[in-house]
Structure 1
Amino acid sequence: MNTIDTMSVNAIRVLSADAIQKAKSGHPGLPLGSAPAAYELWMNHMNHNPADPQWANRDRFILSGGHGSMLLYSLLHLFGYGDLSKEDLMNFRQLGSKTAGHPEYGHTVGVEATTGPLGAGMGMAVGMAAAEAHLAAIFNKENYPVVDHYTYVLGGDGCMMEGISSEAFSLAGTLGLSKLIVLYDSNRISIEGSTDIAFTENVQERMAAFGFQTLDVADGNNLEEIGKAIEEAKADTTRPSFITIHTQIGYGCPAKQGKASAHGEPLGEENIEAMKDFLGWPSKEPFYVPQEVYDHYAKAAEEKAEVEAAWNVMFAAYCQEYPEMEALWNQYYGGTDELAKVLMEDESFWANSEKAEATRNLSGKVINKLKDRMPNLIGGSADLAPSNKTHMNDEADFSKADYAGRNMHFGVRELAMTAIGNGMMLHGGLRTYVSTFFVFSDYTKPMARLSALMKLPLTFVFTHDSIGVGEDGPTHEPIEQLAMFRAMPNFHVFRPCDATETAAAWYSAVTSKTTPTALVLSRQNLAPMPGSCKDTLKGGYVIDDCEGTPDLILIASGSEVELSVKAKEILAAEGRKVRVVSMPCMDLFEEQSAEYKESVLPKAVRKRVAVEALSDFGWGKYVGLDGACVTMTGFGASGPAAQLFEHFGFTAEHVAEVARSL
């Protein structure tokens, strides 16, 4: 390692340690141990342009071990990304700073994904690599590799222990995603001590079994050895690669290196001084970096800008020779405004069904309408496409043999599926959907939370939405899941009652810019509702009304809307004035004006009944103290769906009886 390389690596270490010490909070162990690997990658092997962080053909880097965020912030600062200043590093982990405790996508320039939950970055990296492979298959022409980049992800022992990494890497190996390169920071230390207490498997053999090329770097401080491994990884064009880099956690701090105490607490001022002595750092002043180091990084940034400039020249020639591909590129990357206009004006898209159908079937029909209007729509299911109805007809499967395919097969891997969906959306150019049974949405939840946090409009198709699942019984009958997703900030949950509401849910999902959407769909057939309309996009609306001011309001979603209309007929025959409100999406209803909400649910009408074959949690704000709920209080049972609805009180007669009791 020459002097400037040594100083440049140590600059990452020093800035990281100083920032964590100033914040009195953070994780110095990973940045100190992995600084050489990160430096070698970013400096000598990765195509990126600090002057244009959103360059479409840049290599992606995801820090899966998000607790080591100061490693990433130091790199971004030294390379000159955006306006990430030394002052920003000094404000690490402070309220309102650009340097949050864990990297946040959209908050800090150059951060490709929000990471922190260990292993999440591994799954999202697989999604980014899949997106690259798909887009390359669509757009590349002979002599014009306009989509040609790598996805690098760095994580440690914790990332490899979490099950999501095994799920995701199993699929990556199956798909032969050769432009995925994993850097494994193997320091054999976790928070509780040596990993030997809970993690003794041969990780290399596991990754080889998944179908990865496996490489080993014995000395995590040896830049030449690290660089050689990265180039070997890039040379394998049939397999993803996994590079084990043996490091010492907290390297450079004599009192801490190799110890669990280096993981998640500041080193202490005396230890930082000792570290700077050990590293031969020229100053004890906090955040000091020699100008020659800044100059070295700046020169590299200029050279990397030239790589993008060459790509821009190639892309311009590509567009001139293939104008139809330029138009397609603009459609993939151009946003959703034109799509929203076209769909809104297309009455065939909004047409209601002429017969009773399950909303999962109706959703499948919408997907097959959208696929022709959205060439960048790609997605699939966790081995349930025939049941979820998520298959795009006449489209190929995305596979090692055909990356141009649009039907994804995620296998029985809901958690990784959602992370991969996030990664594909983060990559850019694609609109992605993922799918499973609603009860198994529990497996998607941690990554769905990241979708919402990152403001990614990923679409979730959740079918078999209630006790209507029937014979499979309580293990497969969702009860609390709807409330769980409704409780999540920046997440829209639709439970439509018929074809029009299902079309509206899909319209909202594929035109959303910053909010993920879940479609919660029935297994059983639902009758088309005469009053359903585009007002579904307001989240809640009057689907069946009475003359004048109602004295009772029934509020329902999904299959219980028809039930509520039938209950209204019983009550109306008794002379009662009843309004039925369809509430397919509470989240969107809450976004409407106070005037609109009052027009649907007048405060003066205090007799209200919510009807939903799931948990009552969340309905209190709509029924109030004087209202009631016809909902589930247990986990369901095994039996034919019709019998279950009757058994648990989901009949028009029972709803009417509850209403009379108010």
Structure 2
Amino acid sequence: MNIDNKAINTIRMLSVDQIESANSGHPGLPLGAAPMAYALFKNHIIRDAHDMDWHNRDRFILSAGHGSALLYSLLHVFGYGLTIDDLKDFRQLDSKTPGHPEYGHTRGVEATTGPLGQGIAMAVGMALAEEKLASIYNKDDLKLVDHYTYTIVGDGCLMEGISNEASSLAGTLKLKKLIVLYDSNRISIEGSTDLAFSENVLDRYKALGWDVFTVEDGNNLDDINAKIEEAKKSDKPAIIEVKTKIGFGSPREDTAKAHGEPLGAEGRKATREFYEVLDEDFYISDEVSEYFEKLIEDNTKKANQKKEIEKEYAKKYPEEYEKFINSLNPEKTELLEEDYYKSFEKDMATRSVSGEVLNKLAKDNKLIFGGSADLGPSNKTTLKGEEYFSTENRAGRNLTFGVREHAMGAITNGILLHGGLKTYAATFLVFSDYLKPTIRLASLMNIPNVFIFTHDSIGVGEDGPTHEPIEHLAMLRSIPGVIVLRPADGCETAASLNIAFNSKSTPVVLALSRQNLPQLENSSKDGLKRGAYIIKKEEGELEKIVIATGSEVSLAVEAAKDMKGVRVVSMPSMELFDAQSSDYKEEILPKNITKRISIEALSSFGWHKYVGLSGLTISLDGFGASGKGAEVFERFGFTVENIKKKIEEF
């Protein structure tokens, strides 16, 4: 047996040992896919184990994240910081080796991949970021940004719709430095994929604009390496179908039971015998250990060769190099000018205000790069005077995702994970359902993605209940670690974008109106930053508190303007308000005032936290209707007259 096969079999058994130690995990993928992963890490991925955050490293994402034991084995043997003790702690509380890879938790993990399909979609984002940054910084003689993005996917990843959305855009944009290795074993949890997945995947990818390759034997290293080299020469993204057997070498080979169950003591022993690995847990022979040390140093040498180009670039183009290095530092974000907050005078939809502010920010910060799911003109997220990013024009700053909301969220997450750019994703609020998994992952990964959602209530009007969000803000507010902002006017909207694009580690969601709203005299950027503030102070003794958000704030202020003892609070962000001191919260919402009313033209879900069980919620817990926006508001009681009556009667 040659040294490569010994190394691969060591990786396989380290993976099995992790799973057996935890009595939990997925041995099928590591046993089948180890050769292709080893080939990548040995011969193709240029990455320095001694400088793991080096910006020009090749990226690798295990999209089939359930096979995490394989990734952890690779990170150990290739010197990326995981110890044998870490492998022994697989799937244990607070270990560095959780059940699915977690970005920011385990060094060397480029993205959190749990839900299938998310990984390949984030890989598309990374490849897109590489192309964009290359267009900004690379010179004819020196390439500062020049690397590949690799991902290993399984049948499950390619069944998920998000992978097709992302792959379609990658093919359209010809992201030629994206290479996908497809672990094609034709088995899923319920059995053969013939039960539900009979398409010709490579024909589909040809139709999507990819180059396609096949490796008939997943254990043939020479063929795997040759196909990867061919893929690197393509002017398109490439997918390599590597035909494997799930659980290869184990008694459960080629069966569904190999997917997600430990092999058991007897199964592990039989697998060790098949691979001719010593019957000892977490065993690495001296010969194999020394070989991996050599591979680690070889990879470092390859990385150092590329770093020499970077040094030359820094000497020849010092200003551009400084800008690039600063772009990788989240502390270098430019702030909005102070005089911009109150510069809006006429009635404006908050989506329109957002469009103006976004363009202002983008003019000052050339690294803002994002777009909409084919709704740029409606979302007001198109950067004026800028062209679209395309195959022919990598300098374009407007990115259209097409009607692909699922992929848009994951791709923008991938752009941020790559580093060097600030991005945003936009669509109608009602379609935020399609982005929920990616918003959740952004929060899990602590990356500051900006989600701009417009048409935020029944004010959408004529498009009717299919396009009028009801429960969506409650859903978004329920995601841990996300800031949701629903501003009431120009001042609050400008402050919201300022928070969003200056966030360092928190995803921010903006909910913006389609319809025009008045500019409010007492709106406050500082109040918005605290989540809630008094926008209309009571006259005399405080008796009732009205809490409103977004388009309903102006209705509340108007309804209560002649009422004594009634305070109106604008609460653009529950999350920011909840983070304030108890003294501030008491100042805004005194505990002794129990007559509280919330007004929001959306679901009442979550509002009793602020108004109490005896409080009044003026909200909408059914679906909307089709008609002119003002008439729909009137139909459901969101008028000054009705609100005034309810406040008085409460």
TM-score per shorter chain, which class?
Answer: over 0.9
1:538 aligns to 2:553 (yes or no): no
Q: Is the 8 A contact 1:55 1:308 kept in 2?
A: no
Match of 1:567 in 2: 559
**CA shift at 1:338, angstroms?**
5.2
The residue correspondences of 1:97-496 to structure 2 (distance < 5 A) are 97-236=95-234, 238-253=235-250, 255-281=251-277, 283-337=278-332, 339-340=334-335, 343=336, 346-496=337-487
Q: Pick from 571, 579, 587: which aligns with 1:591?
A: 579
Instruction: Tell me by how many angstroms 1:657 deviates.
Output: 2.1
| Contact 2:597–2:617 (CA under 8 A) maintained in structure 1 | yes
Q: With structure 1 as the length reference, what TM-score do the two structures score?
A: 0.97
Deviates more, 1:288-297 or 1:323-332: 323-332
Match of 2:260, SS?
A: coil
Residue 322 of structure 1 deviates from its aligned partner by 1.2
Corresponding residue SS for 1:409: coil
Are residue 43 (structure 1) and residue 45 (structure 2) matched? no
1:638-657 matches, cutoff 5 A: 638-657=626-645
Q: Name the counterpart of 1:29.
A: 28
Please list the CA deviations of residues 364-406 of structure 1 after superposition, one character each: whole Å capped at 9, or x if unmatched: 0011100122111000000000100000111121110111211
Q: Are 1:634 and 2:615 matched, yes or no?
A: no
| Deviation per residue, 1:494-551 (Å, 9 max, x gap) | 1001111111111111111111001100000000011111221111111111245421
| Partners of 1:456 and 1:516 within 8 A in 2 | yes
Report deviation, 1:330.
3.1
**Is the deviation greater in 596-605 or in 296-305?**
296-305
Query: Residues of 2 paired with 1:508 and 1:293: CA distance?
Result: 51
Contact 1:126 1:423 in 2 (8 A): yes
Preserved contact between residue 332 and residue 375 of structure 1 (Cα < 8 Å):
no
Q: Does 1:550 align with 2:542?
A: yes
Distance 2:424 2:39 in 1: 36
Q: Quick one: which of 590, 611, 621 aligns to 2:609? A: 621
- Retained in 2: the 8 A contact 1:469–1:477? yes
Q: Secondary structure at the residue paired with 2:601?
A: strand
Q: State the match for 1:75 in structure 2.
A: 74
Deviates more, 1:294-303 or 1:554-563: 294-303
Q: CA deviation at 1:448?
A: 1.2
Q: What is the distance in 2 between the residues matched to 1:618 and 1:40?
A: 51
Aligned residue type for 1:489: P
**CA drift at 1:351:** 2.3
Q: Secondary structure in 2 aligned to 1:614?
A: coil
**Separation in structure 2 between the aligned mates of residue 592 and residue 569 of structure 1, nearest angstrom:** 27
Name the CA distance, whole Å, in 2 between partners of 1:653 and 1:351. 28
CA contact (8 A) 1:352 1:528 kept: no
Preserved CA contact (<8 Å) 1:452 1:516: yes
Secondary structure at 1:336 match in 2: helix
TM-fit CA distance, 1:661: 3.0
TM-superposed deviation, 1:143: 1.9
Q: Deviations over 1:63-116 (max 9, x none)?
A: 00000000100000111112x110111110010100000000000000000001
In the alignment, is the contact (CA less than 8 A) between 2:211 and 2:238 conserved in 1?
yes
1:311-352 deviations in Å (ceiling 9; x for gaps): 333222212211221232134223235524xx3xx2233224
In the other structure, the counterpart of 1:660 is 648
CA distance 1:430–1:329, shift in 2 (3 Å): same
Give deviations 1:281-331, integer Å, cap 9, x for gaps: 1x1111111122122112111122222323333222212211221232134
Amino acid at match of 1:107: H
8 A Cα contact 2:326 2:332, kept in partner: no
Cα 1:624–1:352 change in 2 (3 A) is: farther
Q: Report the Cα distance in structure 1 between the residues aligned to 2:440 and 2:305, rounded to whole angstroms.
A: 39
2:90 counterpart of 1:87: no
One-letter code aligned to 1:276: R
Aligned equivalents of 1:356, 1:475: Cα separation in 2: 27
CA contact (8 A) 1:27 1:266 kept: yes
Q: Offset of 1:482 from its aligned partner?
A: 0.3
Deviations, residues 263-285 of structure 1 (Å, cap 9, x unaligned): 0000011011101111111x111
Task: Check whether the contact 1:458–1:517 (CA below 8 A) recurs between aligned residues.
Answer: yes
Q: Distance in 1 between matches of 2:615 and 2:649?
A: 10
RMSD: 1.1
For 1:338 and 1:125, how far apart are their aligned partners in 2? 25
- Give, in whole Å, the separation in 1 of the partners of 2:343 and 2:139: 42
Question: What SS does the corresponding residue of 1:407 show, helix, strand or coil?
Answer: coil
Q: In structure 2, what is the Cα distance between the partners aligned to 1:327 and 1:42?
A: 31
- Larger mean CA deviation between 443-452 and 407-416 belongs to 443-452
CA distance in 1, matches of 2:392, 2:179: 20
Match of 2:596 in 1: 608
Percent of paired sites with the same residue:
55
> TM-score, length-normalised on structure 2?
0.98
> Distance in 1 between the 2:119 and 2:329 partners?
26
Equivalents in 1 of 2:481, 2:290: separation in Å? 42
| Secondary structure class of the residue paired with 2:602 | strand
**Residue in 2 that maps onto 1:18:** 17
Aligned to 1:3: 2
How far the C-alpha of 1:642 sits from its partner, in A, is: 0.6
Residue type matched to 2:317 in 1?
A: Y
Paired AA for residue 36 in structure 1: P
Moved more, 528-537 or 408-417: 528-537
Task: Report the residue type matching 1:510 in the other structure.
Answer: F
Partners of 1:544 and 1:565 within 8 A in 2:
yes
Do 2:333 and 2:502's aligned partners in 1 also have CA atoms closer than 8 Å? no
Distance 1:316 1:126, change over 3 A: same
